[in-house]
A and B are shown apart, each in its own frame.
Chain A
Amino acid sequence: MAVKELLDRYTRMEKLPHIWCPGCGHGIILGSVLRAIQRQNLEPDKTTIVSGIGCSSRAPGYMKFDTLHTTHGRALAFATGVKLARPELNVIVLSGDGDCAAIGGNHLIHAARRNINLTTVVFNNSIYGMTSGQYSPLTPHKRFATTAPYGNVDHPFDLCQLVIAAGATYVARGTAYHTQMLIDLIAKGIERKGFSFIEVVTQCPTYYGRKNKLGSAIDMLNWQKEHGVPVKAAAKLPPEKMEGKFVIGELHCTQRPEYVEEYQRIIDRMERE
């Protein structure tokens, strides 16, 4: 599937080149989301992309759909309104690690708890990039940031486990490096009915990379390659072998009634009475 097709059908080409830094992983994730949409053959007129505030959240501006760039942390709450009011729309939420897990954390766990049919992709580059380099709830312990000049005291969430515990029915983690897998994970998230959540480990060479001396975008992609362990492989490894590594692939996939459909059943019941 040549990129030309992707650009013609799904991209606001007149808005490119995008604003992200050279080597930033967000462009790779944008491409993966578009390719997943292409694979699921979503009807563009019936697809809404919602984002919050941050580097990641500029993505909808480049995507040729109904796009909604909301307030910081609130994308999922806005998206809930869009989806509940007009259920036939495919609603995809693009958010960053700060946007989604810090200020947006409350909306994240409740959207998961409701199992409302939204597909959420979190661009996790372990930093607030737009505001140039503060640590986020997903920044690893001891890492540096402009607001963690002596090493991060905090410990990060395992966001996927948090969202699984909150009730999401499809949870996966991908990386910018494992791009083919990432497209598969997002496509499946779109396909599944219910709250689908895909965390994407990605690189911010400009701030997180530089602040922590992790080298170039290429070095950071190689780090993802060496530290992202597919689910099946990870299951075979003893815990000490997983030290400093993270699991990638489909982490959770189950069935639960979907929120909007359950509410519609009440409406249908009212009409029958």
Chain B
Amino acid sequence: MGTGKKVRIDVNTDWCKGCGICIAFCPKKVFDPLPDNKPKVARPEDCIECMLCELRCPDLAINVGGGSDGRK
């Protein structure tokens, strides 16, 4: 199970090109594909903040963990 608390995940849908990489490689299947294949943050409570979606997003469109408050 995830950390239990609701992790804030922002998706910049202007920059996202719907490649589906985040959806495919999220170890906890947090995202569901929208009709245009852009990610919907379906189950943020399962997010373990592994940051792989952020790292692998080719469009720099995903921000995990809210603001830039110095979170790891």
Beyond A5-B68, A218-B21, whether A16 also contacts B56 by CB under 8 A is no
Give, as a whole number of angstroms, the nearest-CB distance from A238 to chain B.
30
Cβ A11 vs Cβ B60 within 8 A:
yes
| Residue A32 CB within 8 A of the other chain | yes
Binary contact track B31-72/A, C-beta < 8 Å → 1, others 0: 000000000000000000000101111111111111111011
In the bound complex, how far is the Cα of B51 from the Cα of A179, in angstroms?
A: 11
* Best-surrounded residue of A4, A7, A183 (most CB of chain B within 10 A): A4
Cβ A31 vs Cβ B60 within 8 A:
yes
Cβ A25 vs Cβ B60 within 8 A:
no
- A-B contact number at CB 8 A: 84
Cβ A221 vs Cβ B62 within 8 A:
no
Cβ B14 vs Cβ A23 within 8 A:
no
Q: Which residue of A lies closest to B17 (CB)?
A: A22
Contacts of A152-189 to chain B: CB distance below 8 A:
176-177, 179-180, 183
Interface size of B as a range: 20 to 34
In the bound complex, residues from chain A placing their C-beta under 8 Å from that of B54 are: 2-3
Instruction: Report whether over half of chain A's contact residues are helix, strand or loop; otherwise say mixed.
Output: helix
Give, as a whole number of angstroms, the nearest-CB distance from B24 to chain A.
4
Cβ A26 vs Cβ B58 within 8 A:
yes
Cβ B15 vs Cβ A16 within 8 A:
yes
Cβ B56 vs Cβ A28 within 8 A:
yes
A sample of 16 more A-B contacts (CB under 8 A), given A30-B60, A217-B21, is A2-B67, A2-B68, A3-B60, A3-B64, A4-B67, A17-B14, A18-B59, A23-B17, A23-B20, A28-B57, A35-B55, A176-B56, A177-B56, A217-B20, A218-B20, A221-B24
Give me the 6 closest cross-chain CB pairs, A-B, nearest first: A27-B58, A23-B19, A22-B17, A5-B68, A179-B55, A17-B15
